[in-house]
Each structure stands twice: as C-alpha cells, then as structure tokens.
Chain A
Amino acid sequence: MKPDMPLPVLEASSIVKRFGGAVAVDDVSIAVSAGEIHAVVGENGAGKSTLMRVLAGILTADQGTVKVGGELLEGGAKGSLEAGIALVHQELSLIPEMTVAENIMLGSTPTSYGFIRTRQLKAAAAEALDEIGVSVDLNESVARLSVALRQFVEIARAVARKPRVLILDEPTATLTPAETDHLLAMLQRLANRGMAIIYISHRIPEVFTICTTITVLRDGKVVDSTPLVETTPSAVIDKMVGRELSLDLSSRRVATPGALVLSARGIRAHNVNGVDLDVRSGEIIGLGGLVGAGRTELVRAIVGADPRYGGTVTLWVDGHPRNITSYQPAVRAGIGYVPEERRTDGLALTMSVSDNIALPNRRELSSAGVILAGKTARFASNLADAVGLRPPVITRDVGEYSGGNQQKVVIAKWLGRKPRFIVLDEPTRGVDVGAKAEIHRIVRELADNGAAVLVVSSDLPELLELSDVIHVVRDGRITGTLSAADANEKSVMSLASGENLVGA
C-alpha cells in the first residue's frame, strides 16, 4: 500500500499539554513527511492550535517530544524556527506599524554588523511574495492592508523562512473563494517541491481538494489518522463530533417579512459610496461581495460604530422612528452588532465569559446599580448553552477559549439583548461545522421571532443558505439584489466581481 514512505520530516510523539487542570492536548503523536499536505481537523477547542504552538516551540509540552529530521527540538520559538518549522497563526500576528517588507522578514532581518540591509530585506520579501503569487507594495504599512492581504503577508513571512515544515492554522477563514483557490494551488506547488505542510481548516471540502493525509482531533486526542483516499467527508465529520450529525443543512426558512425595522438612506462613509438599505422584521438580508468591497465599513456606519460622512439611519421602535447617529444610543435602542474582528472589537479577553455576556445587559441584570451575581450567572449559562459553548464554564476567561468558542461568546452576548435589529459580520468565521449549523439555527430563530437581521458573509454557501434577500456590494455600492430563489454562487460572484460570469 505505502511502498517506500519517506522518513518523516516532523515527528511528534505522545505530546501532552495541560492548561491548569484541563488537558488541551492529550497524548498526541503525529508525523509529516516531505511533500505531504497533512490536514488536522477537529471541533472548536479540540486542541489543534495548541498542538501547533507546541510544534512551533511557542508552548512547551508537559510531556512528549518533537523531532525534526531526526533531531530533538529545543530552544523555544527560536529553536523551532531555526530547525525549519514555520507557523502561520490562527490570529493575525503582524506588527501593524511596520511595512510589509519588514513584517515578512520579522525575526530574520538580514543585517551586516547589526545594521539592516534594506535592499536585501526588500529583495527577500519580494521573493517570498512572488513565491506565493501576491503583489503588495513592500513599503505599505500593514495597518493599511485588508484582512485578506494581511493573511497573505503572514504566509509570505512563513515561506520566506524557507521552512521544511509549514504549518497553517485556519489560513482561509478570512479569504474569498478565489483567494482560497489561489492559496490552495500555491500550497500544492510548495508540497510538490518537497515541503511538508500541516493544514488546519474547518472547511472540509478544502481539505479534500489538497490534502494527502488527515488527522482528526477530538477533546485533545487523535481519533483518526488516515490517508485521505481512505475516508470521506461525512466520515470525517462524524469522527470530529463523535456522533452522527443530524443537521438538515438545506432547510430553508419560509420568510415572512413584517414591518420595516431599519432603513438606511444615502449612507456614505470610508469606502462606502451611497447605500440605501431596508430591513424588515422577520427578514434576513445577506450582504455578499468580495473582501474589501466595503461591507464591513457599511454595517459599521449603519450601527454608528464608525462615523458617517452622510446619510441617515432610522430604526423603528414600536412604530416610532428613531434617528441612529452613534453607537451607544443605537445599542440602547435595540441594535446588536457582532463585529468581524472579535478579538479587538467584540470581547474583553481578560474577563470571564459571564462578564462578557453580561456586558451589554447590565441594566437587566442589576438592581439599583448593583449587578446581581446569581441572575447574571443563570443568564450567562443559559446563553452559553444556547450557542453551544465548549466547555460551558462561564467563569473562565474568554481569552482561554479557542477561536471558534470566542465567536460563540460574542454571539451569546448579543442574543441576550433580544435585539430588534442585529448585524452579524462573518458570524461563523473559524467556527466548526457543528457550531456553524448551531449558529445558523440561532440566526434563523432570531428572525422567526421578529428580529430584522443583516448578515455579512464571505462564505457563499452560508450566505445563500441564510439570506432571504442578498444585496451584493462592490466598491462601496450595492450593485445588485437577488432574491433567495434567484441567488446562486455564480450570480452572486458575477455581481461581486463585476464580471459577467453567467451569460455571454
């Protein structure tokens, strides 16, 4: 079956990593050979990122060893880098104020006598960008790049190190389908040249396009590790969740739009050039488009989180119009906003889950200005259950939860307010399949209970599945509107890119 398997480049044996009492990685062994693309999948909190941080030397394992090319790894992050392991983190880890070139070469800046060799720095950075087929101004500061470009800059940084093992932790979460395809093709190219790649993703179809081997983690343990040809997507999903997932993903809601809840007129803001938008009670409006089309800017301007240059937003509260001008009053009037950048905008990472959930609901949870502890705990744990937080320990700091679980906390926080109008920007980015279905169910339920819902998503299947109406945004304008019946991947993409992919 496997004639002469090459010796593994990376070999981790019996890795154990605990956080306090909890075991995040439990006796995991994994081996990756040159030219192999090895998928690691699992639910949110399964321990994928923790395992990768151990491999990259950022965390020290409590037990077990990591070998690269037969040599034992030591010396922390630096030692691993030198041994040829490069990790692209799940969270963006660039220095916003530095240029693209400096970020790509961060930690391996070429010098002579301590002085930076600028020309060589730029040449090496340009080479790395070239290798991954992306063109960005080398002198641009990273703070001014789109999220997708930042992701590619990070990948360029890993590639610039000419690693033997390249680890990517959910690299496609922020990418559009076209960008994803580009990335996958690039990884295949690198693997063909003999690089060993570990690839983490919640998007099972991606995994089946490029990977050669798949390891499934559940609760910190390896539950399966096989060549990809010997398994199927549904078998993988079953192993991930440890039960048969009985979700009807194609169930479409029958929308019954009611009264107008929110109407935005002539919205202009940074990257937004005049948008009219109405959302009715019981209706889910989807905003489609490419990353950088101005959707996030649009919704931020609508809820008042960013200043508007022009336009008005009216929220109908029990039949009365209210002008929405800034964020705080908007929230008080019943607007909910789940932001795209949850780590910076949506959560207080050093506060507990229950404090985070209680944050926008302080009024309801306090009496005479004092927060009622018991009521808060009940309130928070009900909501944590509703979104399927794992583990459902509401006293733990949010920062200790895995990326996908953090997203659930943000959503739980706003659910508690029973908003009249709620905006969800990329609600399931980085969320595992089970939790994604769960979040979709919650969003539908919100609409069924009369809320007006606006969803921004770059995940086309998700957008198509959730929305009653899809507005496609390009260059800060709505360039087309599709009803649920007319919308499909092609029609949305052609409006989003401005190219006629459908007819012609």
Chain B
Amino acid sequence: MKLGTEQSGLLGRVRNLAARRTEGRGLILLALVIIVVAILEPTAFTAYSVTLGRVALIGLVALGLTAVILMGELDLSVASTLAVSGVIMASIPDLGLGIVVALAAGILIGIVNAVFVVYVGINSFIATLGMLFALRGLAFVISDEKPVRLSNIDAGIAFGAPLIGPVTPRVLIFIVAFIALQVFLTRVRAGREFYAVGGNRQAAFDAGIPVRRRIFTGFMISGFVAALAGVINTLERTAADPTAGSSVLLASFAAAIIGGVVLTGGRGSVVGTLIGALSLGILQVALTLSGVQTDIQDIFIGSILLIAVITDPTQLRAAAASVRSFFQRREKAQIPT
C-alpha cells in the first residue's frame, strides 16, 4: 500500500508556489509604487543613480537584519553599530586599517549581542536595545560629540564616484551583499538552518542543529553588515557623524517587514527584503523630488508598512470574517422578534 499526496496539476503547483513564497505582497506593493511614481513623479526613474543609492542605503542594513529576524530574534543595535563603526574608522589615520578595525568592531558587537541572548538568556529585544544606547554613547565619546573628518579625503571622493554607469561602489557592495546572503540562506546548510531555528527552535535543537552557533552567526552577520554600511557612509561623506543612522533602524525594519519577513522568525527571504528596500527607496526619492518634507514622508512610509502588514493573507481573512459578522449582526438586529 502507498500513502501520500497526489501530484497536483499546473494550477495546483502555481497555487503551492504562491502559498509558499512570502514575497507576494511586497511585490504587489512594489508594482503599485512603481506605477504611481511613474505617473506622478517619473524623474525618480530618470534620476536612477540617486534612487539606487537610496535603495542601497536602506537595503544594506536591512539585509543583515533579515538574517537575525529569520531566527526569530531582533537586532535593534544596527543603527548604533553603523554610527560607532564609522567613528572608529575615521579616528584611525590609516584608511585601510580603519576599515578593517571598523568591520571587526561590527563583528565583535554581534558577538556581544549573541552572548547576551544565548548565554545570559536575555530577550534579544532588550539585549540589543541596551546595546543601541551603549553604542550610541560610545560613538559620542569617541568622536567627542563632533563629526570626525576622514584624514584621507581623496579616497572618500574617489569612492563616491560611479564605477560603471550609475553603479557606485555603494550600490556594488549592496548587490554583492545581497547575492552573498541570498546564496548563504538558500544554498549553504548553516544559512538554511536559520529557517529551522526560527521556525521551530526545539525541533531544530532535537535534530542536532547547533542552535546557539547559528544565533551567533546571525548576530555577527547583522553586526558586520551594519558596520559595512557605516564604513560606506563615512567614505561617501568623507566624515563620520556620531548621530548617523538614526533613521536607518526604522527604515531597515520596515524594508524587511514590507518584504514579508515575519518578526517571529522562520518565514521570509532576502529577496523580500530587497523588494521592501526598493519600494521604500523609490518612494522616498519620489517624495523628496516632489518636495515633500521628510516628516510627511515618514507618514507615507508608515502607511505603506501598515498596508503591507494588514494585507497579510491570514490577517485579511480574519478582517473579512469580522467585517462579515459585523454586518450579519446588523442584519439580524433589524429583524423584529
């Protein structure tokens, strides 16, 4: 006797794929953003180099964050990591050494976060919230509360220049980071096991997956990528600002969530995060080009974020049911008894 499912037809397979992927909503949202922007503010596309830069800025930190969120943990310290690593880099006269030390600092921060979460057993929201404050303070202390100018300004200017077409080194690094993480999370065993750790941690542990080591890796990736973003920012601006990245934290979380990464872990992808970053980046540039103030821009971003979450299929079903029951109750109330 054979037990099992029957292979469904093409339609069934398409439906399966749609149900399995998490990027659907993000993709629809991105399409909407593109259409609306193309009609109302097409310059956002003609000025694609600006747009690309913006996407890379938002997206890079979000990519690292995705690795942590997939395991059901949070890393609120990314923005402060970005600031502190930039300041460290600018404070070291030798550019190469500065970059290496800054990136190492990012990894170290990731390790500290992971130690708190894994060994001390602090909830990652709280542990990284603590790191958010501590590192921001550290950035101010190192920089003496002033922007630190890069000693090798020429290198910074050279770094900002486009390499091929509109592709600046920043965009290139973003693309490389995206590909590397995509490969890591889908093709490398350790990365793929992030999904297991986030999806059902006990089951992952029981299956012999080194859960703690995976969590360490995740936080290290997130810390490293945030530091990388700090390095890039410092190079492009030829100075490190200790207050840098204050808007990065929220934007990167927003990008991941819009892209369908679930905060409780186990569901999502860096492709989704890329889609989220694209939607946000295009929207921000378009709004800026049409002269909308940044405060108002935030309202738009907030709305997009809420739309993305509300249109989650399971949420939609629940909402539809409650709307229906509301009206049915109404109907009933009108029947005289």
Within 8 A of B (CB), among A97-121: 97-98, 102, 106-109, 111, 114-116
Contact present for B188 and A114 (CB under 8 Å): yes
Flag A312-327 by CB within 8 Å of B: 1 or 0 each. Answer: 0000000010010110
Residue B146 at the A interface, CB < 8 A? no
Distance (Å) between the CB of B324 and the closest chain A CB?
7
- Give the CA-CA distance A114 to B1 in the complex, in Å: 38
Contact of B5 among A89, A135, A323 (CB under 8 A): A135
Q: Is A341 an interface residue (CB 8 A)?
A: no
Docked complex Cα distance between A98 and B200 (Å): 11
Residues B2 and A134 in contact, CB atoms below 8 Å apart: yes
Check A114/B190 contact, CB under 8 A, given A96-B200, A107-B207: yes
Given known contacts A77-B205, A89-B206, A114-B190, A134 and B3 CB-to-CB distance under 8 angstroms:
yes
Residue A256 at the chain B interface, CB threshold 8 Å: no
Cα A102 to Cα B187 in complex, Å, equals 12
Hey, what's the 0/1 contact readout for A282-309 against B, CB within 8 Å counting as 1? 0000000000000000000000100100
In whole angstroms, how far apart are the Cα atoms of A106 and B196 in the complex? 8
Which chain A positions have C-beta within 8 A of B266?
95-97
Cα–Cα, bound, A477→B204 (Å): 38
Minimum CB–CB distance from A136 to chain B (whole Å) comes to: 5
CA distance A77 to B205 in the complex (A): 8
Complexed CA–CA distance, A150 and B267 (Å):
19
A113 nearest CB neighbor, chain B only: B188
- Cβ contacts under 8 Å, B250 to chain A: none
CA distance A107 to B211 in the complex (A): 11
Tell me if A182 and B3 are in contact (CB < 8 A): yes
Q: Are B4 and A115 in contact (CB under 8 A)?
A: no
Residues of B162-215 contacting chain A, CB below 8 A: 187-190, 192-193, 195-196, 199-200, 202-210
Q: Which of A157, A323, A325 has the most CB of B within 10 A?
A: A325
Main secondary structure of the interface of B (DSSP, over half): helix
Measured between beta carbons, the chain A residues less than 8 angstroms from B4 are: 134-136, 149
A97 in contact with B325 (CB, 8 Å): no
A266 to B: closest C-beta gap in Å: 15
**B299 close to chain A: CB less than 8 A:** no
Cβ contact within 8 Å between A320 and B1 = no
Q: Is the CB of B202 within 8 A of A93?
A: yes
Number of A-B contacts (CB under 8 A): 122
| A-side contacts of B2, CB under 8 Å | 133-135
**A149–B325 CA distance with the chains assembled, in angstroms:** 34
| A325 with B329, Cβ < 8 A, contacts A102-B192, A137-B5, A179-B3 known | yes
> Is there contact, CB below 8 Å, between B5 and A93?
no
Say yes or no: is A78 at the interface (Cβ < 8 Å to chain B).
yes
CB contact between A323 and one of B190, B317, B328 (< 8 Å): that residue? B328
A325 to B2 Cα, complex, angstroms: 40
Once the chains are docked, how many angstroms separate the CA of A95 from the CA of B195? 8
Cβ–Cβ < 8 Å partners of B332 in chain A: 323
B293 at the interface (CB under 8 A from A): no
A40-48, A140-148, A422-430, A431-439: which lies at the interface: A140-148
Contact with B along A129-169 (1 / 0, CB 8 A): 00001111100110011001100100001000000000000
Task: Tell me how far the C-beta of B337 lies from the nearest C-beta in chain A, rounded to whole angstroms.
Answer: 7
Residues of B within 8 A of A149 (CB): 3-5
Is B141 among interface residues, defined by CB-CB distance under 8 A?
Answer: no
A136 touches B5 (CB 8 A): yes
Q: CB within 8 A of A137: which of B7, B320, B322?
A: B7
Report the Cα distance A259→B256, complex, angstroms.
55
Which B residue's beta carbon lies closest to that of A320?
B337
- A108: which B residues are within 8 A, CB to CB? 207-208
Residues of B within 8 A of A325 (CB): 321, 324-325, 328-329
Contact A133 B1 (CB under 8 A): yes
**Which of A94, A116, A133 has the most B CB atoms < 10 Å from its CB?**
A116
Nearest 7 Cβ contacts at the A-B interface:
A107-B207, A135-B4, A93-B203, A325-B325, A107-B208, A95-B199, A326-B325
What are 17 inter-chain pairs, A to B, with CB distance below 8 A? A56-B206, A77-B205, A78-B210, A82-B208, A95-B195, A95-B199, A95-B266, A96-B266, A97-B195, A97-B266, A106-B196, A106-B207, A133-B1, A135-B5, A136-B4, A149-B5, A329-B325
Since A98-B199, A106-B207, A307-B317 are in contact, a sample of 11 more A-B pairs with Cβ atoms closer than 8 Å, ordered by chain A residue number, is A93-B202, A106-B203, A107-B208, A108-B208, A109-B189, A133-B2, A148-B3, A179-B3, A307-B324, A325-B321, A329-B325
